[in-house]
Structure 1
């Protein structure tokens, strides 16, 4: 039997990212949206195990979309919570060291990277994510977008997510209404570059 997913705890209080992200949004986002992905993934996983035991090929195929959507929702949000940090814990401090140097080399400046990610996030039609990715194969940084809850790995097996920004309406609408650009501008004030740097240095020692 495959191990079931569980909802990770946030490493900070729900209100700790204010005013960039309201405590109400964080509570709903974590306790409702992420929790639902975990619940529905575990349900689909149980159904898959039942279908496999019966060699029910039709049911196995039908369950793939639910597993991808809900599993992706869990993967993406688990990264997203780590990508954020209260200002008192370093949120918003620019990247230093090897990641900071690589961003300047690849994009020209941190400001240029932020502009690129915000532009691509704002232009994304419907729901999805914008990512700062490391391509392990070519040892270079790039910006990618994914639709719905597709995890970054669906764009390539060598891609590692360093930062992901949720651009679903549930991530910002209660606070920012339809001003997605304002949400994208403010989220950088609580971006946890320390986490991104740790992942980068692990993958590019």
Structure 2
């Protein structure tokens, strides 16, 4: 993944059909090649006239929206958020995947939620609670605690000073071809392809550690 302008849509680290039968091949094509590409194109267009921000990382841009010129704040928040959220979503898929969280993240989930089953129930409830379009996230807050939060549209936890560990895209384009309006079925399938090893690496990086 490139960190600065000009952003590019890097290929998926797996085949489009790699998440079958949980996420279908056509959805992966459209989601990555069309939806994500549009956010990238729009973000690059927005930043093209502002060279003073072209060396900012995506995380810096999204963490400092109020510092940007007012005329590009909404575009950077929406399109930059779309790039960040989609890239994290695609990076955190694997098939086969570990059945449960691993490493330090696994231990932290046990401590915060009691057990993995409780975490799964709470995360699913959060994802179902998103009205319209948005995401469910597992984040590390400023106090070093694991929390489940939701955001609307392409808002990210970066603006809240939180470190994202994993996310679930619950925009309808992420699941409608396979599951129609049955978001709960899509969420259940997603749990089969969570790349917990990658999530554990992100968790450790939140603390400034490498796996």
Same fold (TM over 0.5): yes
Query: Which segments of 5 or more consecutive residues in structure 1 lack a partner in the other structure?
Result: 51-59
Instruction: Give the Å deviation of 1:84.
Output: 0.5
Kept after mapping to 2: 8 A contact 1:93/1:192: no
1:127 equivalent in alignment to 2:133: yes
User: Rg bigger for which structure?
Assistant: 1
1:197 equivalent in alignment to 2:206: no
TM-score with structure 1 length normalisation?
0.87
The separation in 1 between residues aligned to 2:173 and 2:34, in whole angstroms, is: 10
Deviations 1:65-93 (A, max 9, x none): 11110001001111111110111xxx243
Instruction: Give the Å deviation of 1:133.
Output: 0.5
Q: How large is the RMSD of aligned CA atoms in angstroms?
A: 1.5
Partner of residue 174, structure 1: 177
Partner of residue 144, structure 2: 139
Partner of residue 56, structure 1: none
Q: How does 1:1-205 map to 2 (within 5 A)?
A: 3-49=5-51, 60-87=69-96, 91-135=97-141, 137-154=142-159, 156-157=160-161, 159-204=162-207, 205=209
Kept after mapping to 2: 8 A contact 1:127/1:147: yes
Bigger helix share: 1
TM-score with structure 2 length normalisation?
0.85
Instruction: Give the Å deviation of 1:49.
Output: 5.0
Deviations 1:100-137 (A, max 9, x none): 111011011111111111111111111000000012x3
Q: Secondary structure at the match of 2:191?
A: helix
| Alignment length (residue pairs) | 189
